[in-house]
Amino acid sequence: MAVNVTVQEVLRRLAPFQTLDQAFLDEVSGEMYFKTYAEGEYVFRQGSPSLGVLFIVVEGLAEVSVTNERGAENVVGYRRLNDFFGETVILSGGTYSGSVLAKEPLTCLLIPRSAFEKLIYHDPNAAVYFSRGVIDRMRALYEEIVAEQSYEAYGRSDATLFRRQVGEVMSSPVITCRPSDPVMGVARVMSESNISAIVVIDDIGQPVGLITEKDLVAKAVATCLDVAHSPAGEVMNRNLVTLTPQAFLHQALLAVIKQGVKHLAVVDRGMLVGIVTLVDLVKARSTGTLWVAHRIEAQHSLAGLEETGREVDLLLSALVAEKAPVPALFEIMSELHDRLTRQVIALCEQEMVDEGYGPPPQPYCWLSLGSAGRREQTLRTDQDNAVVYADPPPDQAAAAADYFHRLGEKVVEGLARTGFTKCKGDTTASNPKWCRPLGDWCRVLDDWIRRVDPSGVRMLTIFLDFRHVYGEAALAQALWKQVFRSFQEPTPASHLLTQDEVRYKAPLGLRGSFITEKSGPHRDEINLKSSAAVHIVNCIRIFAIKHGITKTSTLGRLQELVAQDVIDREDAEFIQASYETIMMFRIRENLRKYQQGLEPDDYINPHRLSKREQAALREALSVIGRLQKLTASHFNEFWRDYLTT
């Protein structure tokens, strides 16, 4: 069959390639070629290895079929002019999940993998067009790299938090009681059975509460309760934390840390089937690092918290060695950092009382900013924090400002002692600019948002990840309301935030080459924070603020944007896979440097990575350009509407 079109003409007919510049098209089209298949000839068969090419139909008809377990072949679709096939395995290198037959004489343009990679790295729109194949490839590479990383590189751990399930370590059957049972009888059962807690169940066997030794002491002994006649329901703790038998041990760990409990009830379809204790989790991991969450709150001095802070860092090493996925690392380490921060604040509040300043004169809220605010801080790096306190009466304003400034100084110093280094830019609550009453904060925020000023944009970029950590949460909620009020109408800030972000590109060249620093101490390296991750963080933040989302984590914001139909689900999957991959490299490299006594600096030399690692990083970086275009398009239209009204 004669081919009456050129390679470039075929590409120009397809949506993702219509905007390619001529010079690039001249270069890449030379690697592509046409191939003709006779009627009845198979292009490839189900289960055969990938041919490493993308097929584009130029003439004829291709039939796609799948053979089931019984050997019956079922037609599932057809490919006609300008349709493509083979995209699902071109990058993964796997086997074909179906067969393709030339239903009539068929001519295809074949794009080899090397040329396909150049196309998707050159144009983010092409990557999205073939997004399922790229997502699958990125996920597969990510999982392979995590699976192959050496335990020894991070401190060997025999734990299996991310492979073992709760059902494997739970105790069953569970010793229980009813709410009407006398407290004395419950205490006797606990003593005879040598258990530290008993689950309270209702008449149909569903758990309704828990009684621990601590509950008996605090609610029965200390209050001189008539234990012989008082029912168990009077002393039980109704805040029972439950998991399913299928939950993984890392989920149990997170529940222990978040809820501050030592016992978890295991339920299946509402019925009690087991119990897991903190001791069970410690035994399952063959390590004592799980105790760190409870050790934090047991410390009554900053000196004690210094030592406990080092244990938190050891837990990060263990979690990475256990091949923890990035979202789990974020969740677990953020909970521990929050606990550490809250305990430092509580100790500093007591110091203020001991020094004669008294308790806080107004309700206040401690805010985490930056990566800590986004719940994405793994290693404890620079502090970014602020204080907002309730507006005091005018005659008490100076005294309140003095009090919270002193408290801010104490907390910032205390956090520094426990491993959170001081911010070089002084974005901390010890700086009066970051320690204000609510009314002042509202005015400052409104000024930053409405002022056409790059300095205001920089402040917003720092502040708009703020998250309540300690104190009066309603004050943080009031600040979010102010932010959303100010952003309701198109403002200079929304335009400048977008402009500021899309001005800087991902460190990836036209042909998928890495763009590294050309000189200095980081020559041939890429900063994974400022050159890669920050672009995804910034773009997603801009969308989140525009659409009234108070979640601050990048992945949490992304989920909300999908739920609101702001970002397409497949686009979001693409973005999440990219972000997790970039953050996996960043965490891994920073942790290695930390363990070698070097300063974690977010830099990586991509040329020292394996071929598989380079491919994963390259594909992750290729997503950034598409996200920036999506952001620019969305907000430039928004800004144009503002200018024409």
**pLDDT tens digit string along 527-573?**
999 999 999 999 999 999 989 999 999 999 999 999 999 998 888 98
Q: How far apart are CA 315 and CA 324, in angstroms?
A: 11
**Range of lowest pLDDT (276-280, 290-294, 585-589, 623-627):** 290-294
pLDDT of residue 286: 42
Instruction: Kindly tell me if the per-residue pLDDT of 1 is higher than 70.
Output: no
Of residues 411 and 459, more confidently modeled: 411
Phi-psi map region of 66: left, alpha, beta (phi>0 left; psi -120 to 50 alpha) = beta
Phi, psi of 344 (to 5 degrees): -60, -45
SS3 letters across 589-620: HHHHHHHCCCCCCCEECHHHCCHHHHHHHHHH
pLDDT tens string 357-415: 999 999 999 999 999 999 998 887 789 999 999 999 999 999 999 999 999 999 999 99
**What is the C-alpha separation between 374 and 387, in angstroms, rounded?**
17
> For residue 345, is pLDDT > 70?
yes
Alpha carbons 544 and 564: distance in angstroms, whole number:
10
Q: 346 versus 314: which is more confidently predicted?
A: 346
DSSP 109-165: EEEEHHHHHHHHHH-HHHHHHTHHHHHHHHHHHHHHHHHHS-GGGG------TTT-B
Burial 23-40 (b: 16+ CB within 10 A, else e): eebeebbeebebebbeee
Is 521 a residue whose pLDDT tops 90?
yes
Which residues are CB-contacts of 457 (< 8 A; sequence separation ≥ 6)?
448, 493, 496, 497, 500
pLDDT at 470 over 90: yes
Instruction: Name, in order, each residue with C-beta under 8 angstroms of 499's C-beta and a sequence gap of 6 or more.
Output: none
Taking residues 327-353, what's their average pLDDT? 92
Note the pLDDT of residue 409. Answer: 97
pLDDT digits (tens, 9 = 90+) for 143-177: 767 666 654 454 544 445 666 789 988 999 999 99
| H or E stretch at 26 | helix 22-29
Q: What is the pTM of this model?
A: 0.72
In the predicted model, what is the mean pLDDT of residues 265-290? 77
User: Judging by beta carbons within 10 Å of its beta carbon (0-12, 13-18, 19+), is residue 123 exposed, middle or buried?
Assistant: buried
Residue with the bigger pLDDT between 295 and 9: it is 9
